[in-house]
Structure 1
Amino acid sequence: MRRNTSILLLSVGHACVDIYQGAVASLIPFFVAERAYTYAVASGLVLAASLLSSVAQPVFGMLTDRWAMPWLLPAGTLLGGAGIALSGVTGSYALTLVFVAVSGIGVAAYHPESARLARLASRGSHRAMSWFSLGGNIGFALAPVMVSVVIGHGSLRWTPFLALPALAGAALAAPVLRLTARRQAGAPPSAPAPDRPDDVRSFLKLSLAVVSRSVVFIGLSTFVALYTRQRMHGSSGAGTAALFLLFAGGAVGSLLGGSLAHRHDRVRVCRWSYLLTVAAVAGLLYVPGPALYVFVALTSAGLYVPFSLQVTLGQDYLPSRVGTAGGVTLGLTVSIGGLISPLLGRLADTLTLQTALTPLIAMPALSWLFFRTLPEPAPPGAPAPDGPSPRGPARGLGARKTEDLPPVVASERGVVQWTDGGGVRGTEGIPHSAPTGTRAGHE
């Protein structure tokens, strides 16, 4: 019950933060309409949010590898909301860039620590991690709706009302901080070293795959509303509907990814998802008529099936640096796609928006190519391929061999819990348990 409560709180808090990632793209059509920004100038706002966030995410990840910093959850949430709330109160483009960048730093501060705490709370369950990711997807999906309701019938000067989710998210972080403090109070002062070495080469390949995903997702989230209005000859509501589908489809994709990973290995699930996304993006750009909305939803689901799986893959490739891994897979490589947005905007100003977005079809194909050579990593605590587990034979688990044991995913007060990726299957007492916050990913 405690695990479910922690995951639920983290998921809702994740939604409150990722509203502000989605809000930047949701505000673009209003900046274009109200301030007459060109595509290139408007996409510079996405660049401002992405640039500092991309630099800050790994830094916060490395910090959380050295020290537990759960206070970053409410602090990052409030900073993310404050930047978006102030983005529309001034007519100065330079100040708008600053406020959007501040929001990006807040989002960057939140994600590595939240991913670390979610990994501890999930105890190795892919489904639980998919629920954590689902919160972020819901936040993205709510962003265009919230922006449309607040700004659509007024002006950009109404953006201070967009701070309300940040206040709610900061309040929801308080119970998580209390649960974390309670667990740390009963933990021993030191943690054992990771059972396996870091696989840096595989982590770099994974990061490149997620960068390619980021380019197509941020590119579409920046321009799909404007593109839909052009293709459908509709109002701003037509574009908002397409952006909502792009974000809402991620909720389905995240849960589907967690379910599929429970039956198949994560690398295979990600590989097939990216291959199918190639066709979905092509359909979004070139299939005429209202079918565009179907392909928007398929593209979203295809891009989000691998989302939570990539976070846990990164943490398993870098078991000694799970904060850094979360900062990169959940943060840096998600936001870095915004660096490409000004280039797409420049192409759209020079040619057409459809032509500018066409190269995005190749991005999921690149992700698929990187995943073709990735191994499925063993979870933390699993025995090494070339020898028995360093933890020695199990006591109280019958005649099962050490190499047949499922991975250790959590320990508390001298008891190690063994799991098969779903529920706990047995326990074993050991002399020293890993405290909450161990960078090997144990609890």
Structure 2
Amino acid sequence: MSSTSHSSPPQSTASGAPEQKMAVAVLMAISVCHMLNDVIQSLILAIYPMLKTSLALDFAQIGFITFIFQATASVLQPLVGYVTDRYPTPYSLVAGMASSLAGLLLIAYASTYTAVLVAAALIGMGSSVFHPESSRVARLASGGRHGTAQAVFQVGGNFGTALGPLLAAFIVLPHGQRSIVWFSLFALVGMVVLAGVGGWYGKALKLQPISHAEEREAIAALGKRKVAKALVILVTLTFSKHFYLASIASFYIFYLVHTFDLSVQSAQLYLFLFLGAVAAGTVIGGPIGDRIGRRRVIWWSILGVLPFTLALPHVGLFGTAVLSVIIGLILASAHPAIIVYAQSLMPGRVGMVAGLFFGLAFGVAGIGAALLGRLADATSITFVYNVCAFLPAIGLLAAFLPEMSKPTRKPAEGKSPLPADSPQNLTS
């Protein structure tokens, strides 16, 4: 009898190993596709100087391009997430990438401002489909480490966003707007990979029926008022984070050219440095949140960046490069924690929450770009950076989020571990 009981665990481990390897492969695949998706998106921002010259645009028009792209993604993402929570559609990921492909081809040949806006809207629609469903895929493949999985998924996007300006500097700027058409290969590769991910996703939904009864009971015990307050705080923190990031992403190149007399190509490299730091911060934030709790990461990330944002407009070129890296590292670490925290507060609404917060991020960035563009036209880019430097002070609201206990390191025998972001672990 004892020999039988001792032989059971290895057998279980062996049978689970191929499934775990497949889940890791799917997580990496969805992260790579996130990279490809966001390379396409970041090309819009990266070619702003070229569009400004060729179409004789002012800063307000540049900001409006960002607004159209971000607003399209922002409005549709929560709706897509809500629908797919009820009716999961594994192969919608391929359709989303196809929309981005259409927008990419259009912007490569756009000769009017209207064509650029339509192209931005198509890429925004592709993003609105991609993010909620792929976030759910990442959670399914997480093995319970939701923060780490969300970070792996998001870092693909951050790396793609960072790679866009670099590719623009060495490919698009030297060879012209039509060279963007070569990036359609990225979209085609993404569609092939996402077709495979969609197949795994469909099977996983059948093999892993998920019950949220316990989580819903815990949320009921926590109280609707406390849950609502936490969600409002998370939305406000996301606003401050992404409004500030909009000032960097949309106008950093112009700031460097105006303030330090850099060439556009050199300024693209500095933007790549900042966006690379954002990618690194995302990777760091997910696992740390799994270990020490989401609230601590959110608090440290958004409020902790304040001294550096205040100093940024007052330093030289080297100081700007160093501070932008520090800001990117610290600020980006909050996003995986915010999304996983919010998903724990709304059981069974993984797609809608991901869509809401990704959509909010896009929407805030879009509105921020449009408003900041007008402010820059009326004053100066330097003035914009001085005003935005105070936004992270909103991070003080993180003090009112319910505390999260540390994750259980070693589950008791015969019981599944309770994830750190489970509602049962929320305390006042």
Name the amino acid aligned to 2:71: L
Q: Structure 2: which 5+ runs fail to align?
A: 1-20, 422-428
Name the amino acid aligned to 2:417: P
Change (3 A) 1:100 1:334: closer
1:173 is matched with which residue: 170, 194, 205?
A: 194
- What is residue 37 of structure 2 aligned with on the other side? 17
Q: After the TM superposition, which residues 77-96 of structure 1 pair with which residues of structure 2 at under 5 Å, given as runs?
A: 77-96=97-116
Q: Distance in 2 between matches of 1:308 and 1:349?
A: 34
- What is residue 57 of structure 2 aligned with on the other side? 37
Deviations 1:298-337 (A, max 9, x none): 1111221111111111111111311111111223234422
Moved more, 6-15 or 82-91: 82-91
Moved more, 344-353 or 145-154: 145-154
Q: Distance in 2 between matches of 1:134 and 1:239?
A: 23
Name the amino acid aligned to 1:166: A
Identity of aligned residues (%): 27
Q: After the TM superposition, which residues 58-207 of structure 1 pair with which residues of structure 2 at under 5 Å, given as runs?
A: 58-125=78-145, 126-186=147-207, 191=211, 193-196=213-216, 197=219, 199-207=227-235
Name the amino acid aligned to 1:135: G
How far is the alpha carbon of 1:377 from its aligned partner?
Answer: 5.2
Alpha carbons 2:238, 2:360 under 8 Å: kept: no
- What is residue 388 of structure 2 aligned with on the other side? 360
Q: 2:397 matched to 1:375?
A: no
Q: Distance in 1 between matches of 2:105 and 2:374?
A: 27
How far is the alpha carbon of 1:109 from its aligned partner?
Answer: 0.9
- What is residue 289 of structure 1 aligned with on the other side? 317
1:406 is matched with which residue: 401, 417, 426?
A: 417
Q: Distance in 1 between matches of 2:349 and 2:180?
A: 38
Q: 2:232 matched to 1:212?
A: no
Name the amino acid aligned to 1:406: P
Deviations 1:241-267 (A, max 9, x none): 121122111121012112322331111
- What is residue 333 of structure 1 aligned with on the other side? 361
Name the amino acid aligned to 1:372: A
Q: Distance in 1 between matches of 2:155 and 2:98?
A: 21
- What is residue 50 of structure 1 aligned with on the other side? 70
Instruction: Give the SS at the match of 2:402.
Output: coil
Q: 2:249 matched to 1:221?
A: yes
- What is residue 234 of structure 1 aligned with on the other side? 262
How far is the alpha carbon of 1:192 from its aligned partner?
Answer: 5.1
Moved more, 323-332 or 150-159: 150-159
Name the amino acid aligned to 1:162: F
Moved more, 233-242 or 258-267: 258-267
Q: Distance in 2 between matches of 1:308 and 1:358?
A: 28
Alpha carbons 2:294, 2:404 under 8 Å: kept: no
Name the amino acid aligned to 1:315: Q
Alpha carbons 1:73, 1:114 under 8 Å: kept: yes
Alpha carbons 2:212, 2:348 under 8 Å: kept: no
Alpha carbons 2:73, 2:362 under 8 Å: kept: no
How far is the alpha carbon of 1:282 from its aligned partner?
Answer: 2.4
Q: Distance in 1 between matches of 2:75 and 2:254?
A: 28
Deviations 1:248-295 (A, max 9, x none): 111210121123223311111111111222222223322123221111
Q: After the TM superposition, which residues 265-344 of structure 1 pair with which residues of structure 2 at under 5 Å, given as runs?
A: 265-344=293-372
Moved more, 267-276 or 123-132: 123-132
How far is the alpha carbon of 1:7 from its aligned partner?
Answer: 0.9
Alpha carbons 2:75, 2:363 under 8 Å: kept: no
Alpha carbons 2:59, 2:376 under 8 Å: kept: yes
Q: Distance in 2 between matches of 1:55 and 1:3?
A: 31
How far is the alpha carbon of 1:35 from its aligned partner?
Answer: 2.3
Q: Distance in 1 between matches of 2:231 and 2:213?
A: 19
Change (3 A) 1:84 1:279: farther
Deviations 1:179-230 (A, max 9, x none): 1233334456x84535233723312221121121111112210000111112
How far is the alpha carbon of 1:396 from its aligned partner?
Answer: 6.0
Instruction: Give the SS at the match of 1:69.
Output: coil
How far is the alpha carbon of 1:84 from its aligned partner?
Answer: 2.9
Name the amino acid aligned to 1:348: A
> What is the TM-score normalised by the length of structure 2?
0.85
Q: After the TM superposition, which residues 415-426 of structure 1 pair with which residues of structure 2 at under 5 Å, given as runs?
A: none
Name the amino acid aligned to 2:267: G
Change (3 A) 1:379 1:166: farther
Alignment: residue pair count? 390
Name the amino acid aligned to 1:168: V
Q: Distance in 1 between matches of 2:393 and 2:124?
A: 28
Alpha carbons 1:85, 1:160 under 8 Å: kept: yes
Q: Say which structure is richer in helix.
A: 2
Alpha carbons 1:219, 1:338 under 8 Å: kept: no
